[in-house]
Structure 1
């Protein structure tokens, strides 16, 4: 019996400094999320190579989308090291299994473990367990930016806190915040797939009473301004800069802003943007050229 082919996997491998623009290119033309995976070290430059993957439905105009992404990748190859765009055809089963291959149990910080939902029967020696089925939404905990955000949340979240998770993806940071003890968590994402996946993960973790997932972005009339003890945004540098002023409007005057999703080359511009809004860096983490910042009003 012939298997009907439904999905196209597109991928490239690139130097760290090109990941941000590559993610923006993939995210612009694909509606099914972007997956990042560290695949090794380039000894010549002492930098990590990262694979960027996305998926296209073969029933859509994927050839047009492929050409648009390919043009972007070839343009970036003139300013940094990036492989040619690779295309692989998947059937329905392969599509569901492809992203699971690199998703294993992950321990982060001192207390938390991220456990794939299909491995939930395995014993984990951690006090906080987040069961996750990311589907095609970004956020498994394996990318450095997600891990650093989790480590920051672990040290900052208090039982009376309200947390806003901008660009929540799979819901991993929202779920972790609730399990760290936050009394209320709101996750928001402008991707329909991410919203659906995040809501399903809330159910899996039994935190639907304390956490809400919304579709959209900021500003949002359903979210109170100046009322969140923590705003976390693990998103691209461009979106952080574009929304910097709006983001601060949703932060309590004494609150913490946690931002990541960008490289150290973008850090000075981001710090300056928030400095103009009276926010200063009070804590910084960095891994493999990726940066996470904790800022407060001073």
Structure 2
């Protein structure tokens, strides 16, 4: 099978929103090539040791998003037009898109399978959590928790600020035996991190069938299928139980909509961890949380993003 690679160049702010657009339109895989923050990498000796020197040349560039569509998709020309339009429209949500360029190229099956692998190496997400692609070798150190993923088919590899902040907040607040709900579970990384850190059970929910399939594959890869359930659909339609912690790494505008229902899925005094929030939207999300009787526990920031941990009040 041959594939069309759609290469999109955008500011970091728009990465997760663009990725959502691509999956909704049927992308069969997405790879994200982020600019290299050299000073940040120097603080992480693990990643610095593994990084390909050629990647350092990408410092200060825009983020590149590579999406892959089957050339057998008869609706592909219309989808490309839609992608361009939707990217331009992201500015209406306060997101900077940078150049927002969209370029096309053709790949055969072998090239497609290996195109994105060069960008993923083992990386410390927190002091405890190390995320590594399944094909990379890594020697586990004392106290570390290893999560293996196939990051080419669903966003949420742990390296993006929004994902790493979610994992950090889970690690800081999780108690042994807690139950977790992950809304918009993507690759399943947040649910896997939660159970490996001591959660009794995690449930991931996502509208995207590709994300659901890939999350299930990653959970099997890490031998966690007995402790994690992944379901497809809307939160209110497919989830009936309440959790000690609900986490959502999605856009701020979606979080504000989610606040209408999310309380009923959180136990009394339980936590809601939300991320994917650009700093310009922080105040709006905080106000929404307070309006729904949540207490702000902590706001963590990285780059242009923040994650908010809030406690449900009775």
The structure-2 alpha-carbon separation of the partners of 1:271 and 1:180, relative to structure 1 and needing over 3 Å to count, comes to same
User: 2:68 — aligned with what?
Assistant: 55
Counterpart CA distance in 1 for 2:129 and 2:257 is: 32
Residues 59-116 of structure 1, C-alpha deviation per residue, up to 9 Å, x if partnerless? 1121111112123345668975324212122211222222222111011212111121
The structure-2 alpha-carbon separation of the partners of 1:21 and 1:199, relative to structure 1 and needing over 3 Å to count, comes to closer
TM-score, structure 2 length as denominator? Answer: 0.83
Contact in 2 for aligned 1:134/1:197 (Cα 8 Å): no
Deviation at 1:17, TM superposition (A): 4.0
Counterpart CA distance in 1 for 2:255 and 2:178 is: 23
**Comparing both structures, which one devotes a greater share of its residues to strand?**
1
Aligned length, in residue pairs: 287
Contact in 2 for aligned 1:274/1:280 (Cα 8 Å): yes
Please say if 1:110 is aligned against 2:127: yes
Residues 11-69 of structure 1, C-alpha deviation per residue, up to 9 Å, x if partnerless? 2222344445534543443343654432257xxxxx87322332222111211111121
User: 1:210 — aligned with what?
Assistant: 227
Give the alignment's Cα RMSD to 1 decimal: 2.4
User: 1:278 — aligned with what?
Assistant: 293
User: 2:258 — aligned with what?
Assistant: 243
Please say if 1:68 is aligned against 2:109: no
Uncovered stretches (5+) of structure 2, i.e. residues with no partner: 38-59
The structure-2 alpha-carbon separation of the partners of 1:221 and 1:20, relative to structure 1 and needing over 3 Å to count, comes to closer
Task: State which drifts further: 14-23 or 274-283.
Answer: 14-23
Task: State which drifts further: 158-167 or 27-36.
Answer: 27-36
**Comparing both structures, which one devotes a greater share of its residues to helix?**
2
What SS is found at the alignment partner of 2:280? coil
Please say if 1:122 is aligned against 2:173: no
TM-score, structure 1 length as denominator? Answer: 0.87
